[in-house]
Chain A
């Protein structure tokens, strides 16, 4: 999709996509035929730039036709460069300016409480994203409100545009920080191992009076050898030669990489 669009964020999309797949095909109670079903679980993609992964998952789930994926970032597309809740069925919040999604998810969780609804609110954060102050305002607020219907997932791929998070502005010890803010912390050692992902999502379900965060260790650019752990692929599309290599590497049996003209 990003190759076809000629721009976008493939690296972080690949670090997040396994977790997004698990959420939409295992965890979330959502109905593609009724995207605004009031009792649905909510998912807020706070790291909005990895929306190509979300769009692919939503299309696979049936929220909109897959043909739309090849209109990404083009005029009049339902798929904007960053998520737009008014244009894309299944997108719960317009994001893209980092740091805002967690507090938005808090608002959704409060609404569930007010309306005595059972739905759960999920929110995926980037790791570089938590350098934003708004995240910690939301973290403090969620714990104060005891929002145990809120589950955050932190995509810990350790990279941001300018390099390793620990070199740019260090984030560790992340688990300690979230615990100090009053959150229950769950660790996901391999955010690409489907068995582990499903297990931690299940483990996060019981409501115990606290918001929970899953620290998901992931690999930016996962699945394409030359993209893995490279900050360079945060915000640029692959060249034609790179795309050919990526296709070859991803040519797993029974899996077709669709070809679309740019």
Chain B
């Protein structure tokens, strides 16, 4: 079994790494919107109270105050729930952060459907779509706690705005703490995907919580003699087109898997690339065009087909369409 079963929440890794970086990077400031303990930025607030700003239940204020700090050389991390930050302050993100290309880090938790019982008002399956359409914006979707820590460290030396979506619930950890997987040490680089498993018959391009599922799917497919490549596309923008086109060329069949709407997310981004440069069958695993509902995270992942089982089925379809 290649997939380790330890559980850890990405938001915990975010909160811890932010404190660690805060010691050496005095330019880091952190802003919250009354959800600081949920997003884990309260740990930074306890460690560095002078560099933490509570903006109230006011996401537009959160983003625009962060923008003002960024114009003065600070590196603000603005963190609240993904649905509120991206949708309630979208024009502020566009006008005051992305358009002037400021170094604001929009790190949001409680994304996707795995936020769970709170229901549709608190779940977001559109955030990647609306963030990736913004010029200058980088979009990150890490898969587990060690990758989240690696991503937060990579953010510090990046120029320009970044959106990163994290989940609420603990997820399976498959990377080791040093960002190695299966004995292979990787380096987290924004815009560069990670090939977690080699394969010639089909390539599964995935991110977030779906990466662990894709690795399981690849095991199941191997038992049937289908050799599946697994590519962790932790950066949706800028997209690693080279890896996608290489996979399209070498396997001739692609599957995308994400905890996001089938419209406009990773699947859409991959389809845009192959349609233009190397058309091959693309099967997509994601959330349909609906408002999602209440339930426990695991229940919802099954309800919307965000499972290893569905990824394997999609891979078989893609191979048959080749």
Question: A104 to B64, Cβ gap below 8 A?
Answer: yes
Does any Cβ of A come within 8 Å of B95's Cβ? yes
Question: B68 to A106, Cβ gap below 8 A?
Answer: yes
Residues 96-134 (chain A) with a chain B CB within 8 angstroms: 96-97, 99-112, 114-115, 133-134
Question: A103 to B29, Cβ gap below 8 A?
Answer: no
Given contact pairs A96-B95, A97-B91, A100-B92, A107 touches B64 in the complex (Cβ within 8 A)? yes
Question: B68 to A137, Cβ gap below 8 A?
Answer: no
Complex alpha-carbon distance, A144 and B65, angstroms: 13
> Which residues of B are found within 8 Å of A107, using beta-carbon distances?
64-72, 76
Q: In terms of DSSP, what is the predominant structure of the interface of chain A?
A: helix
Does any Cβ of B come within 8 Å of A22's Cβ? no
Q: How many residues of A contact B (CB 8 A)?
A: 36
> Which residues of B are found within 8 Å of A105, using beta-carbon distances?
68
Question: B64 to A111, Cβ gap below 8 A?
Answer: no
Given contact pairs A86-B100, A114-B51, A114-B74, A108 touches B64 in the complex (Cβ within 8 A)? no
Task: Kindly specify which of B52-60, B187-195, B222-230, B314-322 makes contact with the partner chain.
Answer: B52-60
Does any Cβ of B come within 8 Å of A4's Cβ? no
Does any Cβ of A come within 8 Å of B36's Cβ? no
Question: B96 to A100, Cβ gap below 8 A?
Answer: yes
Question: A97 to B71, Cβ gap below 8 A?
Answer: no
Does any Cβ of B come within 8 Å of A140's Cβ? yes
Question: B68 to A111, Cβ gap below 8 A?
Answer: yes
* Nearest A-chain residue to B101, judged by Cβ: A86
Does any Cβ of B come within 8 Å of A85's Cβ? yes
Does any Cβ of B come within 8 Å of A93's Cβ? yes
Question: A137 to B95, Cβ gap below 8 A?
Answer: no
Residues 141-194 (chain B) with a chain A CB within 8 angstroms: none
Question: A93 to B96, Cβ gap below 8 A?
Answer: yes
For A47-89 the 0/1 string (1 means CB < 8 A from B) is 0000000000000000000000000000000000000111000
Given contact pairs A94-B96, A94-B100, A100-B95, A108 touches B60 in the complex (Cβ within 8 A)? no
Complex alpha-carbon distance, A184 and B31, angstroms: 26
* Min CB gap A126→B, angstroms: 16
* Nearest A-chain residue to B91, judged by Cβ: A97
22 contacts between A and B (CB under 8 A): A38-B73, A44-B68, A84-B99, A85-B100, A93-B96, A103-B60, A103-B64, A104-B96, A105-B68, A106-B61, A107-B64, A108-B68, A110-B69, A111-B68, A111-B72, A114-B29, A114-B50, A114-B74, A137-B55, A137-B58, A138-B64, A140-B56
Residue ranges of A at the interface with B (Cβ–Cβ < 8 Å): 38, 42, 44, 84-86, 92-97, 99-112, 114-115, 133-134, 137-138, 140-141, 144-145
